[in-house]
């Protein structure tokens, strides 16, 4: 049994780890163990379905062992990091379980990521391989992977999941089907080891990679499945991109598998596609971000949809769900609404399925576990009186104690005694439910997609026509926040426009969801009245002005 700690990983202090084991939070089971147990218990139950696949637990188990054996032959070994950039399709599950079984660490990238995100992620994780798709939604992912490979020294292997065995692949890329070997011997693993790296919203410089262990993540998966009342008859529809922590584990695809239920996939979350999938697969639960929930509600209120009667629970999370929308979800879709407030770093809060309606409408729920500790504190770290706004800090059995190999981010994001500073402003109600009021940090939450102001400003500052730029989130009725860029032009006679700025940012290989929604050209930025103004203060001032105008 390996006992050394992965370099760059900050484990829980030994006393805390021992406590979480004694309390039964950490069980010593790995992801591979869970799948083995399910395949033994209900081999013929359907584990994963999409438009082209229908795999039983026995088949998923065999496939993941087979691919793990093939990847080992290719040279992928325990603790190697492997970028996974796949759309919602059955092979995502096969691939990540194969990597889990090898002890190799999937790094969960999003289909929307482009060079500007993938190069820093591959570099920071020193990834040796990438698993990607061929052409998907008219975009050539294998070509993107190849362009990353030439820029990142450690990256040797490109593996492509493709429906078209004859498709031309970049030189050096291989069809993953070549690695479905006869299942062989696999390594013994330790559940306290890091299982994968999840991503936190980007910022300039080194991306924040989130190390999650088998022990801690499986606790959150198990507890989520209990809170969301999953069982063998659950059919969870993966609507959001499954690399996100929410559809992955809250309770997500892993919760459904843990409960012996079925994971159904849709590559496209629009009502037209997703409603058909709900009818076809008999979906019982899914998770949405607020703008998507609004689209679904509006479509359902018009009537004449496919049969949605199998659907029992719709979760909304990732960004604040307005009360007006929250009220409409249940009646429109014929479901129980569940609000979810979570983060890839750990803590996840849920409203419970039997909560009174006012709790479900007006709060983002309470921590899933009695062992989660949450505090709202002022800027000096002192706890604020109950019911008043404060900065949310947390620790617990599935909240990380540090990012992967990033001491600088750790110094900012963790207190000396190991609490994670979430960056969220919350009110903790006397009944324990949290109301998320906003973010303290310099982030725009655009309908659940988080955009770092600093990261986007750095791109804009490269624009030859822009002297300085400040990014803030401004209120938007659908997205919650939209991305507004305040820019000072180099030449007042030749001002940048929304179209030219977007084209420029896109040309730098930045994911589409980070494109500014508005460009406001200004001569100067306002004074904040304290002499030299920090960019942080400036963002705050502009945001306050935007909120009242
Ligand atoms: P990430 O860093 O991408 O894992 O995003 C986590 C952040 O998303 C949280 O810290 C919150 O700022 C935000 N978030 C997630 N769920 C909610 C929610 N239900 N309401 C408001 N904000 C949310
Ligand atoms: O936004 C998130 O990151 C999020 C939302 C809901 C999350 O990580 C989660 C649930 O687990």
Q: What is the pLDDT of residues 377-428, one digit of tens each?
A: 998 999 999 889 999 999 999 999 999 999 999 999 999 999 999 999 999 9
Alpha carbon dihedral 40, 46, 47, 50, in 10-degree steps, equals: 160
Looking at the CA of 445, name the nearest ligand: 1
pLDDT tens per residue, range 12-47: 999 999 999 999 999 999 999 999 999 999 999 999
Q: How far is the CA of 425 from the centre of ligand 1 (A)?
A: 11
Q: How far is the CA of 15 from the centre of ligand 2 (A)?
A: 28
Average pLDDT value over all residues in the chain: 94
Q: Which long-range contacts link 165-168 to residues 24+ away (Cβ below 8 Å)?
A: 167/134, 167/135
Pocket of ligand 1 (CB under 6 A): 200-201, 245, 317-320, 339-344, 364, 422-424, 436, 439, 445, 450
Q: Cα–Cα distance between 452 and 450 in angstroms, integer?
A: 7
For the residues 259-279, what does the mean pLDDT come to? Answer: 96
Q: How far is the CA of 339 from the centre of ligand 2 (A)?
A: 11
Report the nearest-CA residue for atom 6 of ligand 1: 343
466 assigned to some structural domain:
yes
With beta carbons less than 8 A apart as the criterion, state whether 20 and 369 touch: no
Closest CA to 390 of 403, 379, 376, 402: 376
Q: What residue numbers bound the domain in which 103 lies? A: 31-189
**Which atom of ligand 1 has the smallest separation from the CA of 443?**
12
pLDDT tens per residue, range 287-328: 999 999 999 999 999 999 999 999 999 999 999 899 999 999
Looking at the CA of 249, name the nearest ligand: 2
pLDDT tens per residue, range 209-266: 999 999 999 999 999 999 999 999 999 999 999 999 999 999 999 999 999 999 999 9
Q: How far is the CA of 464 from the centre of ligand 1 (A)?
A: 34
Least confident of 74-88, 95-109, 191-205: 191-205
Q: How far is the CA of 248 from the centre of ligand 1 (A)?
A: 15
For residue 519 the two structure tokens come to 């460009």
Mutate to test the pocket of ligand 2, among 341, 448, 450 (most ligand atoms within 8 A of CB): 341
Q: Cα–Cα distance between 489 and 494 in angstroms, integer?
A: 8
Q: How far is the CA of 508 from the centre of ligand 1 (A)?
A: 27
357 assigned to some structural domain:
no
Pocket of ligand 2 (CB under 6 A): 245-246, 250, 317-318, 340, 342-344, 348
**Which atom of ligand 2 has the smallest separation from the CA of 250?**
11
Report the nearest-CA residue for atom 1 of ligand 2: 318
Say if residue 526's pLDDT is above 90.
Answer: no
CATH of the domain at 86: 3.40.50.980
Q: What is the pLDDT of residue 434?
A: 97
**Which atom of ligand 1 has the smallest separation from the CA of 200?**
2
What percent of the chain is modeled with pLDDT above 90? 85
Q: What is the pLDDT of residue 3?
A: 59
Cα 236 to the center of its chain, rounded Å: 17
Mutate to test the pocket of ligand 1, among 109, 121, 315, 318 (most ligand atoms within 8 A of CB): 318
Say if residue 528's pLDDT is above 60.
Answer: no
Q: How far is the CA of 189 from the centre of ligand 1 (A)?
A: 32
Please name the helix (run of DSSP H) or strand (run of DSSP E) that holds residue 142, with its range, or none. helix 141-149
pLDDT tens per residue, range 336-379: 999 999 999 999 999 999 999 999 999 999 999 999 999 999 98
**Which atom of ligand 2 has the smallest separation from the CA of 448?**
1
With beta carbons less than 8 A apart as the criterion, state whether 379 and 434 touch: no
For the residues 437-447, what does the mean pLDDT come to? Answer: 83
Mutate to test the pocket of ligand 1, among 450, 451, 452 (most ligand atoms within 8 A of CB): 450
Mutate to test the pocket of ligand 2, among 201, 344, 351 (most ligand atoms within 8 A of CB): 344
State pTM to two decimals: 0.94
**pLDDT band for position 524 (cuts 50, 70, 90):** confident
Of 140, 166, 189, which marks where a domain is finished? 189
232 assigned to some structural domain:
no
With beta carbons less than 8 A apart as the criterion, state whether 39 and 196 touch: no
Report the nearest-CA residue for atom 9 of ligand 1: 343
Least confident of 211-225, 462-476, 525-539: 525-539
For residue 302 the two structure tokens come to 């018009």
Q: What is the pLDDT of residue 1?
A: 46
486-525 CB burial, b ≥16 within 10 A, e <16: bbbbeeeeeebeeeebbebbeeebbbeebbbbebebeeeb
307 assigned to some structural domain:
no
55 assigned to some structural domain:
yes
Report the nearest-CA residue for atom 20 of ligand 1: 320
Looking at the CA of 240, name the nearest ligand: 2
Q: What is the pLDDT of residue 384?
A: 95
CATH of the domain at 532: 3.30.300.30
Q: What is the pLDDT of residue 202?
A: 59
Report the nearest-CA residue for atom 3 of ligand 2: 343
Looking at the CA of 220, name the nearest ligand: 2
61 assigned to some structural domain:
yes
Position with higher pLDDT, 90 vs 164? 90
With beta carbons less than 8 A apart as the criterion, state whether 349 and 429 touch: no
For the residues 266-288, what does the mean pLDDT come to? Answer: 96
* 211 CB-side CA count, 13 A: 24
Q: How far is the CA of 348 from the centre of ligand 1 (A)?
A: 9
Q: What is the pLDDT of residue 14?
A: 97
425 assigned to some structural domain:
no
42 assigned to some structural domain:
yes
Q: What is the pLDDT of residue 542?
A: 82
Q: What is the pLDDT of residue 331?
A: 98
Q: Cα–Cα distance between 394 and 399 in angstroms, integer?
A: 8
Q: How far is the CA of 322 from the centre of ligand 2 (A)?
A: 17
Structural domain tally of the chain?
2
Q: How far is the CA of 317 from the centre of ligand 1 (A)?
A: 7
Of 134, 164, 189, which marks where a domain is finished? 189
84 pairs with which residues across the strands?
A: 108, 131
Looking at the CA of 316, name the nearest ligand: 1
Looking at the CA of 364, name the nearest ligand: 1
Say if residue 115's pLDDT is above 60.
Answer: yes
Say if residue 525's pLDDT is above 70.
Answer: yes
Of 158, 189, 220, which marks where a domain is finished? 189
């Amino acid at each position: 049994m390996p006992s050394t700690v992965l370099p760059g990983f900050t484990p829980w202090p030994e006393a805390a780890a021992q406590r979480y084991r004694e309390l039964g939070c950490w069980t010593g089971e790995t992801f591979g163990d869970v799948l083995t147990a399910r395949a033994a218990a209900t081999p013929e139950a359907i584990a994963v379905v999409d438009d082209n696949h229908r795999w039983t637990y026995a088949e998923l188990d065999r496939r993941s062992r087979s691919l793990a054996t093939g990847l080992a032959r290719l040279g992928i070994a325990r603790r190697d990091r492997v970028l996974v950039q796949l759309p919602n399709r059955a092979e995502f599950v096969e691939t990540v379980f194969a990597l889990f079984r090898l002890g190799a660490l999937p790094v969960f990238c999003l289909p929307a990521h482009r060079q500007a995100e993938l190069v820093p992620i591959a570099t920071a994780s020193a990834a040796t391989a990438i698993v990607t798709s061929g052409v998907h939604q008219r975009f050539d992912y294998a070509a993107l992977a190849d362009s990353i490979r030439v820029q990142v020294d450690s990256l040797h292997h490109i593996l492509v999941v493709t429906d078209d065995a004859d498709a031309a692949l970049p030189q050096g890329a291989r069809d993953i089907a070549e690695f479905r070997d006869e299942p062989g011997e696999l390594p013994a693993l330790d559940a306290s080891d890091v299982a994968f790296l999840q991503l936190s919203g980007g910022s300039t410089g080194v991306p924040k990679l989130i190390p999650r262990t088998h022990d801690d993540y499986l606790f959150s998966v198990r507890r989520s499945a209990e809170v969301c009342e999953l069982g063998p008859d659950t059919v969870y529809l993966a609507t959001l991109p499954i690399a996100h922590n929410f559809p992955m584990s809250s309770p997500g695809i892993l919760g459904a598998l843990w409960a012996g239920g079925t994971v159904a996939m849709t590559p496209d979350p629009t009502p037209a596609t997703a409603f058909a999938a709900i009818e076809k697969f008999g979906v019982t639960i899914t998770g949405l971000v607020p703008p998507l929930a609004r689209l679904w509600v509006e479509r359902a209120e018009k009537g004449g949809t496919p049969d949605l009667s199998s659907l029992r629970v719709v979760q909304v999370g990732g960004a604040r769900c307005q009360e007006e929308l929250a009220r409409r979800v249940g009646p429109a879709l014929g479901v129980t609404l569940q609000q979810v407030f979570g983060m890839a770093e750990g803590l996840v809060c849920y409203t419970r399925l039997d909560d009174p309606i006012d709790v479900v409408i007006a709060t983002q729920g309470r921590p899933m576990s009695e062992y989660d500790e949450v505090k709202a504190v002022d800027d000096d770290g002192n706890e604020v009186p109950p019911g008043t706004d404060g900065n949310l800090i947390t620790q617990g059995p599935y909240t990380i104690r540090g990012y992967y190999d990033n001491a600088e981010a750790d110094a900012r994001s963790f207190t000396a005694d190991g609490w994670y500073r979430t960056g969220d402003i919350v009110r903790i109600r006397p009944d324990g439910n949290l109301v998320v009021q906003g973010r303290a940090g310099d982030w725009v939450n655009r309908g659940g997609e988080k955009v770092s102001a600093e990261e986007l400003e750095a791109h804009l500052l490269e624009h030859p026509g822009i002297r300085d730029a400040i990014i803030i989130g401004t209120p938007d009725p659908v997205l919650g926040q939209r991305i507004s860029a305040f820019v000072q032009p180099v030449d007042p006679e030749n001002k940048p426009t929304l179209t030219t700025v977007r084209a420029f940012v896109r040309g730098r290989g930045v994911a589409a969801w980070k494109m500014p929604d508005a460009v406001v050209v200004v001569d100067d930025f306002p004074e904040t009245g304290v002499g030299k103004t920090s960019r942080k203060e400036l963002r705050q001032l502009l945001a306050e002005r935007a909120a009242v105008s």
